[in-house]
Amino acid sequence: MAGEGDQDHAHDGEASVPPRPCPVCGKPAVFAARPFCSNRCADVDLHRWLRGAYALPAADDDEPPLEADAKDRGE
């Protein structure tokens, strides 16, 4: 009487996650080089990151305080 139709539900264990696209070239990523599609793309991204880190402006005080000066001379 009981125990029928219960095995139809035991198919949920394996959830295959679809591979994300490589952020560098857009190809589907592989497990070995996540989140990239290959070690080469991982290298490209690393170099980009390093370049970006070095290209960041070191000084933030490049703008002269014009407003403060104008306010002082206005009186």
User: Binding-site residues for Zn(2+), please?
Assistant: 22, 25, 37, 41
> How far is Cα 1 from Cα 66, in angstroms, rounded to an integer?
88
* Cβ at position 27, least distance to Zn ion in Å: 5
Residue 37 binds to Zn ion (criterion: CB under 5 A):
yes
3-state secondary structure of 21: strand
CA torsion sign for 23, 29, 34, 39 is negative
Residue 25 binds to Zn ion (criterion: CB under 5 A):
yes
Q: What is the DSSP letter of 4?
A: -
- Tell me the site size for Zn ion, rule CB under 5 A: 6
Residue 42 binds to Zn ion (criterion: CB under 5 A):
no
- Tell me the binding residues: 22, 25, 37, 41
